[in-house]
Amino acid sequence: MNTREFAEKVARIVPELHMELFRRIPVTASREKLTFPQMVIMGLLYGSEKCKMSDISRRLKVTKSAVTGLADRLIHSGLVSRTRLKDDRRVVIIRLTRKGKARYRKFNNFKLKLMEDVFSCLNRKERFFYLSMLSKVMGNLRKSRKR
53-91 pLDDT, tens digit per residue, is 999 999 888 999 999 999 999 999 999 999 988 888 888
DSSP run (H or E) holding 92:
strand 92-96
Q: What residue ranges do the domains of the chain occupy?
A: 3-103
Instruction: Choose which CATH entry (3.40.50.1100, 1.10.10.10, 3.20.20.60, 3.30.300.130) describes domain 3-103.
Output: 1.10.10.10
Q: Sheet holding 92-96: strands in order across?
A: 51-52, 92-96, 80-84
Q: What is the pTM of this model?
A: 0.75
The strand pairing partners of 81, in sequence order, are 95
Residues of the chain with pLDDT under 50: 28-31
Kindly tell me the sign of the dihedral angle through the C-alpha atoms of 48, 51, 54, 60: positive
What does the pLDDT read at residue 35?
80
Residue partners of 32: CB distance under 8 A and separation at least 6 = 77, 79, 103
Cα 4 versus chain centre, distance = 29
Q: What confidence score (pLDDT) does residue 30 get?
A: 45
